[in-house]
Amino acid sequence: MSDMMSYFLLIVGCVIGIGYIFHNLVVKGNRCTSTAKLHGKTVIVTGSNTGIGKKTAINLATRGARVILACRSQQRGEIALAEVMEESRSKEVVFMQLDLGSLKSVRTFAENFLKTEDRLDLLINNAGILLQGKTEDGLGMMFGVNHIGHFLLTNLLLERLKTCGPSRVVTVSSVGHNFGKIDFKCLNTHKALGTGTSFWQTMQIYSDSKLCNVLFTHELAKRLQGTKVTCYSLHPGAINSELSRNSSNVLKALLKPITAFFFKNTEQGAQTTLHCALQDGIEGLSGRYFSNCTVRDLYPKAKDDVAAKKLWELSERHSGLV
Protein backbone atom coordinates (compact mmCIF):
# COMPACT_ATOMS: atom_id res chain seq x y z
CA MET A 1 0.00 0.00 0.00
CA SER A 2 2.80 2.39 0.82
CA ASP A 3 4.33 1.77 -2.63
CA MET A 4 0.95 2.43 -4.23
CA MET A 5 0.54 5.59 -2.20
CA SER A 6 4.05 6.76 -3.09
CA TYR A 7 3.37 6.08 -6.77
CA PHE A 8 0.07 7.96 -6.56
CA LEU A 9 1.70 10.95 -4.85
CA LEU A 10 4.46 10.96 -7.45
CA ILE A 11 1.89 11.13 -10.24
CA VAL A 12 -0.03 13.89 -8.46
CA GLY A 13 3.21 15.80 -7.93
CA CYS A 14 4.14 15.46 -11.59
CA VAL A 15 0.70 16.65 -12.71
CA ILE A 16 0.87 19.65 -10.38
CA GLY A 17 4.41 20.43 -11.52
CA ILE A 18 3.51 20.20 -15.21
CA GLY A 19 0.42 22.30 -14.57
CA TYR A 20 2.47 24.95 -12.76
CA ILE A 21 5.00 25.09 -15.59
CA PHE A 22 2.24 25.23 -18.21
CA HIS A 23 0.40 28.02 -16.40
CA ASN A 24 3.50 30.13 -15.85
CA LEU A 25 5.26 29.61 -19.19
CA VAL A 26 2.36 29.13 -21.61
CA VAL A 27 -0.73 30.75 -20.11
CA LYS A 28 0.90 33.86 -18.64
CA GLY A 29 2.90 34.48 -21.82
CA ASN A 30 5.38 37.25 -22.64
CA ARG A 31 5.16 40.75 -21.27
CA CYS A 32 5.56 44.09 -23.00
CA THR A 33 9.11 45.24 -22.22
CA SER A 34 8.81 48.80 -23.50
CA THR A 35 9.75 51.51 -21.02
CA ALA A 36 8.29 54.28 -23.22
CA LYS A 37 6.92 57.38 -21.52
CA LEU A 38 3.89 59.02 -23.12
CA HIS A 39 3.74 62.52 -21.64
CA GLY A 40 2.14 64.85 -24.18
CA LYS A 41 0.60 61.93 -26.11
CA THR A 42 -3.12 61.24 -26.47
CA VAL A 43 -4.63 57.77 -26.68
CA ILE A 44 -8.14 56.43 -27.35
CA VAL A 45 -9.01 52.97 -26.01
CA THR A 46 -12.42 51.61 -26.98
CA GLY A 47 -14.18 49.28 -24.57
CA SER A 48 -11.93 50.46 -21.76
CA ASN A 49 -14.45 50.22 -18.93
CA THR A 50 -13.60 46.56 -18.35
CA GLY A 51 -11.24 43.67 -19.11
CA ILE A 52 -8.04 44.09 -21.07
CA GLY A 53 -9.21 47.49 -22.32
CA LYS A 54 -9.23 48.90 -18.79
CA LYS A 55 -5.83 47.36 -17.99
CA THR A 56 -4.45 48.84 -21.22
CA ALA A 57 -5.82 52.26 -20.30
CA ILE A 58 -4.32 52.08 -16.79
CA ASN A 59 -0.89 51.16 -18.18
CA LEU A 60 -0.90 53.96 -20.74
CA ALA A 61 -2.12 56.52 -18.20
CA THR A 62 0.62 55.42 -15.81
CA ARG A 63 3.13 56.20 -18.57
CA GLY A 64 1.85 59.76 -18.73
CA ALA A 65 -0.54 59.60 -21.70
CA ARG A 66 -3.80 61.49 -21.88
CA VAL A 67 -6.22 58.57 -22.15
CA ILE A 68 -9.73 58.75 -23.62
CA LEU A 69 -11.97 55.98 -22.32
CA ALA A 70 -14.38 55.38 -25.20
CA CYS A 71 -17.21 53.26 -23.80
CA ARG A 72 -20.88 52.61 -24.57
CA SER A 73 -22.31 52.82 -21.06
CA GLN A 74 -21.98 56.20 -19.36
CA GLN A 75 -22.55 54.69 -15.92
CA ARG A 76 -19.91 51.95 -16.33
CA GLY A 77 -17.62 54.38 -18.14
CA GLU A 78 -17.68 56.87 -15.27
CA ILE A 79 -17.02 54.12 -12.72
CA ALA A 80 -14.06 52.97 -14.84
CA LEU A 81 -12.86 56.56 -15.13
CA ALA A 82 -12.55 56.82 -11.34
CA GLU A 83 -10.81 53.44 -11.15
CA VAL A 84 -8.32 54.20 -13.94
CA MET A 85 -7.49 57.58 -12.42
CA GLU A 86 -6.98 56.03 -9.01
CA GLU A 87 -4.83 53.10 -10.17
CA SER A 88 -2.71 55.15 -12.57
CA ARG A 89 -2.57 58.20 -10.28
CA SER A 90 -3.22 60.30 -13.35
CA LYS A 91 -5.70 63.11 -13.84
CA GLU A 92 -5.21 62.99 -17.61
CA VAL A 93 -8.03 60.47 -18.14
CA VAL A 94 -11.33 61.37 -19.82
CA PHE A 95 -14.53 59.43 -20.45
CA MET A 96 -16.27 59.96 -23.81
CA GLN A 97 -19.41 58.03 -24.71
CA LEU A 98 -19.10 55.78 -27.77
CA ASP A 99 -21.54 53.13 -28.96
CA LEU A 100 -19.83 51.20 -31.74
CA GLY A 101 -23.18 49.67 -32.64
CA SER A 102 -24.44 53.07 -33.74
CA LEU A 103 -22.95 54.83 -36.76
CA LYS A 104 -24.45 58.08 -35.47
CA SER A 105 -22.70 57.61 -32.12
CA VAL A 106 -19.37 56.89 -33.82
CA ARG A 107 -19.67 60.06 -35.89
CA THR A 108 -20.68 62.12 -32.86
CA PHE A 109 -17.76 60.75 -30.84
CA ALA A 110 -15.27 61.54 -33.62
CA GLU A 111 -16.70 65.04 -34.07
CA ASN A 112 -16.53 65.78 -30.35
CA PHE A 113 -13.04 64.35 -30.04
CA LEU A 114 -11.67 66.37 -32.95
CA LYS A 115 -13.21 69.55 -31.51
CA THR A 116 -11.90 69.09 -27.98
CA GLU A 117 -8.56 67.28 -28.36
CA ASP A 118 -5.53 68.57 -30.22
CA ARG A 119 -3.68 65.27 -30.64
CA LEU A 120 -4.18 61.59 -31.35
CA ASP A 121 -1.10 59.38 -31.15
CA LEU A 122 -2.61 55.97 -30.47
CA LEU A 123 -5.98 54.53 -31.45
CA ILE A 124 -6.61 51.19 -29.78
CA ASN A 125 -9.63 49.39 -31.23
CA ASN A 126 -10.14 47.07 -28.27
CA ALA A 127 -13.90 46.70 -27.82
CA GLY A 128 -15.54 43.48 -28.89
CA ILE A 129 -18.73 41.54 -28.20
CA LEU A 130 -19.92 37.96 -28.47
CA LEU A 131 -23.60 38.63 -28.92
CA GLN A 132 -26.22 38.05 -31.58
CA GLY A 133 -28.74 40.61 -32.78
CA LYS A 134 -28.88 43.71 -34.96
CA THR A 135 -27.44 47.17 -34.52
CA GLU A 136 -29.67 50.25 -34.79
CA ASP A 137 -28.44 50.56 -38.39
CA GLY A 138 -29.61 47.05 -39.26
CA LEU A 139 -26.17 45.45 -39.31
CA GLY A 140 -25.42 42.08 -37.74
CA MET A 141 -24.38 42.94 -34.17
CA MET A 142 -20.89 41.40 -34.23
CA PHE A 143 -20.20 42.66 -37.75
CA GLY A 144 -21.41 46.13 -36.75
CA VAL A 145 -19.62 46.44 -33.40
CA ASN A 146 -16.48 44.34 -33.85
CA HIS A 147 -15.69 45.57 -37.35
CA ILE A 148 -17.79 48.36 -38.90
CA GLY A 149 -17.81 50.59 -35.81
CA HIS A 150 -14.02 50.47 -35.56
CA PHE A 151 -13.64 50.78 -39.33
CA LEU A 152 -15.64 54.02 -39.34
CA LEU A 153 -13.97 55.37 -36.20
CA THR A 154 -10.50 54.77 -37.59
CA ASN A 155 -11.29 56.43 -40.91
CA LEU A 156 -12.84 59.48 -39.24
CA LEU A 157 -9.72 59.96 -37.11
CA LEU A 158 -7.07 59.11 -39.71
CA GLU A 159 -6.19 62.69 -40.63
CA ARG A 160 -5.52 63.56 -36.99
CA LEU A 161 -3.36 60.44 -36.64
CA LYS A 162 -1.41 61.45 -39.75
CA THR A 163 -0.91 64.99 -38.44
CA CYS A 164 0.47 63.67 -35.14
CA GLY A 165 2.67 60.94 -36.63
CA PRO A 166 4.47 58.79 -35.87
CA SER A 167 1.23 57.26 -34.59
CA ARG A 168 -0.37 53.83 -34.48
CA VAL A 169 -3.68 52.01 -34.86
CA VAL A 170 -3.89 48.79 -32.85
CA THR A 171 -6.87 46.46 -33.39
CA VAL A 172 -7.59 43.59 -31.02
CA SER A 173 -8.56 40.51 -33.03
CA SER A 174 -8.38 36.87 -31.92
CA VAL A 175 -6.82 33.56 -32.86
CA GLY A 176 -10.44 32.72 -33.69
CA HIS A 177 -9.90 34.55 -37.00
CA ASN A 178 -8.25 31.32 -38.19
CA PHE A 179 -11.71 29.71 -38.19
CA GLY A 180 -13.38 32.71 -39.80
CA LYS A 181 -14.69 33.23 -43.31
CA ILE A 182 -16.17 36.22 -45.11
CA ASP A 183 -19.47 35.45 -46.84
CA PHE A 184 -19.79 38.50 -49.09
CA LYS A 185 -23.12 37.29 -50.45
CA CYS A 186 -24.55 37.20 -46.92
CA LEU A 187 -23.05 40.63 -46.16
CA ASN A 188 -24.63 42.14 -49.25
CA THR A 189 -27.99 40.48 -48.66
CA HIS A 190 -28.34 40.60 -44.86
CA LYS A 191 -25.66 43.10 -43.76
CA ALA A 192 -24.42 40.33 -41.50
CA LEU A 193 -21.64 37.74 -41.46
CA GLY A 194 -24.16 34.96 -40.88
CA THR A 195 -27.79 34.42 -39.97
CA GLY A 196 -27.70 31.41 -37.63
CA THR A 197 -28.35 31.72 -33.91
CA SER A 198 -27.12 28.43 -32.43
CA PHE A 199 -24.10 28.33 -30.14
CA TRP A 200 -21.78 27.10 -32.88
CA GLN A 201 -23.18 29.52 -35.46
CA THR A 202 -22.67 32.37 -32.98
CA MET A 203 -19.05 31.32 -32.42
CA GLN A 204 -18.57 31.11 -36.20
CA ILE A 205 -19.85 34.65 -36.69
CA TYR A 206 -17.58 35.89 -33.90
CA SER A 207 -14.61 34.25 -35.67
CA ASP A 208 -15.74 35.84 -38.93
CA SER A 209 -15.73 39.28 -37.29
CA LYS A 210 -12.21 38.69 -35.98
CA LEU A 211 -11.08 37.79 -39.51
CA CYS A 212 -12.55 41.14 -40.58
CA ASN A 213 -10.25 42.81 -38.01
CA VAL A 214 -7.16 41.17 -39.51
CA LEU A 215 -8.13 41.90 -43.12
CA PHE A 216 -8.96 45.50 -42.17
CA THR A 217 -5.47 45.95 -40.70
CA HIS A 218 -3.89 44.32 -43.75
CA GLU A 219 -5.64 46.73 -46.13
CA LEU A 220 -5.21 49.75 -43.85
CA ALA A 221 -1.43 49.30 -43.85
CA LYS A 222 -1.42 49.51 -47.64
CA ARG A 223 -3.43 52.71 -47.60
CA LEU A 224 -1.13 54.23 -44.97
CA GLN A 225 2.07 53.71 -46.96
CA GLY A 226 3.97 56.96 -47.21
CA THR A 227 2.48 58.30 -43.96
CA LYS A 228 3.81 58.11 -40.43
CA VAL A 229 0.90 55.98 -39.26
CA THR A 230 1.37 52.24 -38.74
CA CYS A 231 -1.17 49.60 -37.77
CA TYR A 232 -1.24 46.16 -36.19
CA SER A 233 -3.77 43.46 -35.30
CA LEU A 234 -3.31 40.96 -32.51
CA HIS A 235 -4.50 37.98 -30.50
CA PRO A 236 -4.45 38.89 -26.79
CA GLY A 237 -4.58 35.27 -25.63
CA ALA A 238 -7.45 33.37 -24.10
CA ILE A 239 -8.66 35.87 -21.53
CA ASN A 240 -10.61 35.34 -18.31
CA SER A 241 -12.67 38.49 -18.88
CA GLU A 242 -16.24 39.68 -19.41
CA LEU A 243 -16.45 38.84 -23.12
CA SER A 244 -18.80 35.96 -22.25
CA ARG A 245 -20.91 38.08 -19.86
CA ASN A 246 -23.99 37.39 -21.99
CA SER A 247 -23.63 33.61 -21.53
CA SER A 248 -25.91 31.62 -19.24
CA ASN A 249 -25.07 31.36 -15.53
CA VAL A 250 -24.73 27.59 -15.86
CA LEU A 251 -22.13 27.92 -18.63
CA LYS A 252 -20.24 30.56 -16.63
CA ALA A 253 -20.16 28.29 -13.56
CA LEU A 254 -18.89 25.35 -15.61
CA LEU A 255 -16.20 27.45 -17.26
CA LYS A 256 -14.98 29.23 -14.12
CA PRO A 257 -12.40 26.62 -12.93
CA ILE A 258 -11.18 26.14 -16.51
CA THR A 259 -10.77 29.83 -17.25
CA ALA A 260 -9.08 30.48 -13.90
CA PHE A 261 -6.28 28.03 -14.70
CA PHE A 262 -5.99 27.95 -18.48
CA PHE A 263 -6.81 31.56 -19.35
CA LYS A 264 -4.80 34.74 -18.87
CA ASN A 265 -5.96 37.35 -16.44
CA THR A 266 -6.73 40.77 -17.88
CA GLU A 267 -3.33 42.28 -17.10
CA GLN A 268 -1.56 39.42 -18.89
CA GLY A 269 -4.06 39.73 -21.73
CA ALA A 270 -3.20 43.40 -22.28
CA GLN A 271 0.51 42.76 -22.91
CA THR A 272 0.38 42.17 -26.67
CA THR A 273 -1.79 45.25 -27.13
CA LEU A 274 0.81 47.27 -25.23
CA HIS A 275 3.62 45.71 -27.26
CA CYS A 276 1.97 46.74 -30.53
CA ALA A 277 1.25 50.22 -29.17
CA LEU A 278 4.66 50.94 -27.66
CA GLN A 279 7.45 48.71 -28.93
CA ASP A 280 10.19 50.50 -30.85
CA GLY A 281 11.37 49.03 -34.15
CA ILE A 282 8.15 47.35 -35.33
CA GLU A 283 7.19 50.13 -37.74
CA GLY A 284 8.35 47.95 -40.65
CA LEU A 285 5.81 45.32 -39.57
CA SER A 286 2.81 47.57 -40.20
CA GLY A 287 -0.22 45.52 -41.20
CA ARG A 288 1.06 42.38 -39.48
CA TYR A 289 -0.57 40.22 -36.81
CA PHE A 290 0.91 39.64 -33.35
CA SER A 291 0.40 37.07 -30.60
CA ASN A 292 2.25 36.75 -27.30
CA CYS A 293 4.17 39.96 -28.12
CA THR A 294 5.56 38.32 -31.27
CA VAL A 295 4.75 38.82 -34.95
CA ARG A 296 3.06 35.73 -36.44
CA ASP A 297 2.52 34.34 -39.89
CA LEU A 298 -1.04 34.25 -41.18
CA TYR A 299 -3.00 31.77 -43.24
CA PRO A 300 -3.49 32.98 -46.84
CA LYS A 301 -7.15 33.90 -46.22
CA ALA A 302 -6.10 36.43 -43.55
CA LYS A 303 -3.78 38.32 -45.90
CA ASP A 304 -5.79 37.95 -49.10
CA ASP A 305 -5.35 41.24 -50.99
CA VAL A 306 -8.53 40.78 -53.03
CA ALA A 307 -10.71 39.90 -50.04
CA ALA A 308 -9.23 42.72 -47.93
CA LYS A 309 -9.93 45.32 -50.64
CA LYS A 310 -13.44 43.95 -51.23
CA LEU A 311 -14.19 44.06 -47.49
CA TRP A 312 -12.88 47.63 -47.29
CA GLU A 313 -15.12 48.81 -50.13
CA LEU A 314 -18.14 47.01 -48.70
CA SER A 315 -17.39 48.51 -45.28
CA GLU A 316 -17.25 52.00 -46.80
CA ARG A 317 -20.78 51.50 -48.10
CA HIS A 318 -22.20 50.00 -44.90
CA SER A 319 -20.62 52.71 -42.74
CA GLY A 320 -21.78 55.55 -44.99
CA LEU A 321 -18.29 56.74 -45.92
CA VAL A 322 -19.23 56.62 -49.61
**Residues taking part in catalysis:** 206
* Residue type present at position 36: A
Gap between the Cα atoms of 301 and 307, Å rounded: 8
Gap between the Cα atoms of 319 and 202, Å rounded: 23
Instruction: Answer for the pair 173, 210: CB distance below 8 angstroms, yes or no.
Output: yes
Sign of CA dihedral 127, 132, 138, 143: positive
Gap between the Cα atoms of 157 and 44, Å rounded: 10
Instruction: Answer for the pair 32, 280: CB distance below 8 angstroms, yes or no.
Output: no
Long-range contact set of residues 98-101: C-beta below 8 Å, sequence gap at least 24:
98/46, 98/70, 98/71, 98/72, 98/153, 99/72, 99/149, 100/46, 100/72, 100/127, 100/144, 100/145, 100/149, 100/150, 100/153, 101/72, 101/135, 101/136, 101/137, 101/139, 101/141, 101/144, 101/145, 101/149
For Cα atoms 289, 290, 293, give the angle at the middle one, nearest 5 degrees: 165
3-state secondary structure at position 46: strand
Residue closest to 161 by CA, chosen among 208, 211, 110:
110
At residue 247, what are phi and psi to the nearest 5 degrees? -75, 165
Gap between the Cα atoms of 45 and 192, Å rounded: 25
3-state secondary structure at position 225: coil
